[in-house]
């Protein structure tokens, strides 16, 4: 009997999440200021750990939102999917572009036994469109991931990576002047130096 009740609760929870996601895709919720309401709904209704205001746009999907932590001023564009079998931490002032996949799930090749490793994205990171961040990856502070990249290994701070698999393209030289288009970053990329310099 207890198992039946647990299954029933799980079905109700999944139905609730499906209805909530469907509501978020309505045109009313695509208006920019309403995204703050959406982040509050993700925090209070789905149990996602969110520090301050975040911008969660239409079509964002969380799998297991209770294991996701979003820092202040994180912006998740449409089509972002975060699959959190293990913990996912996204630091403050990060911008995640459309269509990005962040996954913690993996499996053993020999017997397909599932496993998972946490993903950590440092502060002030930018992830380009359609990039994939695989399990166990740590992105350092102020790192940039190029569009369409597949990140399989840790990325050091202040580094631009791109490709499949992603590799270091440039070290980013940052200055302390505060100037941004969106007002989200705390530091600005002043110049990029080649790793061969």
> What's the CA gap between 146 and 56, in Å, rounded?
21
Q: Residue 28 — very low, low, confident or very high, per pLDDT cuts 50/70/90?
A: low
Name the catalytic one among 17, 44, 57, 107. Answer: 107
**Confidence check: pLDDT of 47 > 90:** no
> What's the CA gap between 146 and 156, in Å, rounded?
14
Is 189 a member of any domain? no
Q: Percent of the chain scored above 90 by pLDDT?
A: 44
Is 22 a member of any domain? yes
Q: What CATH number does residue 93 fall under? A: 2.160.10.10
Q: Percent of the chain scored above 70 by pLDDT?
A: 72
Full domain range(s) for residue 116: 2-170
> What's the CA gap between 102 and 49, in Å, rounded?
16
Is 101 a member of any domain? yes
Predicted pLDDT at 181: 34
Is 183 a member of any domain? no
- pTM metric for this prediction: 0.74
Domain count, the chain: 1
Is 78 a member of any domain? yes
Is 184 a member of any domain? no
Active site residue 69: no
Segment 11-23 shows an average pLDDT of 66
**Confidence check: pLDDT of 11 > 90:** no
């Amino acid at each position: 009997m207890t198992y039946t009740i647990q299954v029933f609760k799980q079905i109700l929870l999944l139905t609730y999440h499906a209805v909530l996601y469907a509501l978020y895709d309505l045109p009313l919720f695509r208006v920019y200021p309403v995204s703050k309401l959406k982040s509050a709904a993700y925090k209070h209704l789905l149990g996602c750990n969110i520090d301050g205001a975040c911008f969660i746009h239409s079509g964002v999907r969380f799998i297991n939102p209770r294991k996701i932590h979003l820092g202040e001023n994180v912006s998740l564009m449409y089509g972002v999917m975060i699959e959190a079998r293990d913990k996912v931490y996204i630091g403050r002032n990060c911008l995640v572009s459309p269509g990005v996949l962040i996954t913690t799930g993996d499996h053993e090749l020999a017997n397909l036994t599932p496993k998972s490793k946490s993903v950590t994205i440092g502060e002030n990171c930018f992830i380009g469109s359609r990039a994939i961040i695989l399990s166990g990856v740590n992105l350092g502070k102020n790192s940039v991931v190029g569009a369409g990249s597949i990140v399989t290994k840790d990325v050091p701070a202040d580094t631009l990576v791109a490709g499949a698999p992603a590799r270091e393209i440039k070290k980013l030289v940052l200055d302390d002047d505060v100037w941004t288009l969106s007002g989200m970053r705390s530091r600005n990329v002043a110049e990029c130096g080649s790793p061969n310099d």
